[in-house]
Amino acid sequence: MNPIQSILEQYPVMILDGAMATELERSGADLNDSLWSARLLLDNPEAIRQVHHRYFEAGADCAITASYQATIPGFVQRGWSEQEARELIRRSVQIAVEARDAFWSSYPGSGNLNNRSTVEQSVMNQPDIEPAAAPHRPRPLVAASVGPYGAYLADGSEYRGDYGLNEQQLVQFHEPRIRELVAAGADVLACETIPCLIEAKAIITVLQQFPGVYAWFSFSARDGAHISSGERAADCAAWLDTQEQAAAVGINCTALDYIPSLIRTMRSQTSKPILVYPNSGEQYDPVTKTWHGSACTQDYGQQARDWYEQGARLIGGCCRTTPADISSVRAALRGEA
């Protein structure tokens, strides 16, 4: 069964987590690396686990794994063997599953409230996070991040889509990683920051090797009507509407101002749930790998309420968002803090 649909049948909205890299950097990690947060899968997996915990405590119904830039060729180029690369990719899911299971085992109503782990205790001590206490909450999912080919290149092309590859070449790139993520037991795949429709089509081709596996497809966008490649967001939604293994369709890693228009245009072309998890409002320069401008001053939760009213049903945050933002989203959409 589509795990996203199973939650949405019970709850009006599914709350996603926020930025992984931002939280790792706040904890002191140096992510100026072509592998980005994926480097910590080996160097400091506990840091990743703690970030997952913080988002669960903040109210996230889903953790997105630290595999966005975890690819076999990317790890091999950095000196690991192909087998070690495969193990690290699987490890990204295992870390999130371990964090989810530890959180859920001590969630109110489970009968294990006296067995909080050391990680959970440290999360509870975070001053800017209000643990989400709710008797009516779904068991969180683990979504395995499938970043675009541009994430492997680490040159910002996930915001352009100008790869110069054909669909079959993209199939060959994505298949090995998806195979490992599926084998590791992820509940759903998060195919995110996809800049062009041809890449979404390639991933669907790969998914057809794994019947019963579902994925959400989240594009990066250049404005309120077009994804990063310049293709119409409406056309992307319409094509994915015909694909059974596409569990939800939407936008991530995109400026806040474009989100309402993108929700409306995609919703008009698909009956699938619409998901959005934009950036904080700051602008990313992929050349210098730095952020500019200031975060939106409007409450993130209030914006989430607006996106929900526009038709979004999976809502979270991308770059520069925090557990505090996700707590705000939960308070706004579920009335829980």
* Domain hosting residue 295, numbered range: 3-334
Q: What CA dihedral angle connects 174, 177, 179 and 183, to 10 degrees?
A: -150
Q: What CA dihedral angle connects 307, 309, 311 and 316, to 10 degrees?
A: 30
Q: Is the pLDDT of residue 324 over 60?
A: yes
CATH number, domain containing residue 233: 3.20.20.330
Q: Three-state SS for 162? A: coil
Of 119-133, 141-155, 234-248, the range with the lowest mean pLDDT is: 119-133
**202: alpha, beta or left, given left = phi > 0 and alpha = psi -120 to 50?**
alpha
Q: For the chain, state the CA radius of gyration.
A: 18
pLDDT of residue 126: 46
Q: Is the pLDDT of residue 241 over 90?
A: yes
pTM of the model: 0.89
Average pLDDT over residues 69-73: 93
pLDDT of residue 296: 56
pLDDT of residue 280: 74
Q: Three-state SS for 51? A: helix
- Which residues does 258 contact at the CB level (< 8 Å), separation at least 6? 221, 223, 224, 251, 278
When divided into structural domains, the chain yields a total of 1
Indicate the average pLDDT of the chain. Answer: 88
Rounded to whole angstroms, the Cα distance separating 96 from 40 reads 13
Over residues 193-212, the pLDDT tens digits come to 999 999 999 999 999 999 99
Tokens (6 digits) for 5 = 């649909």
Band (78; pLDDT cuts 50, 70, 90): confident
Higher pLDDT, 107 or 34: 107
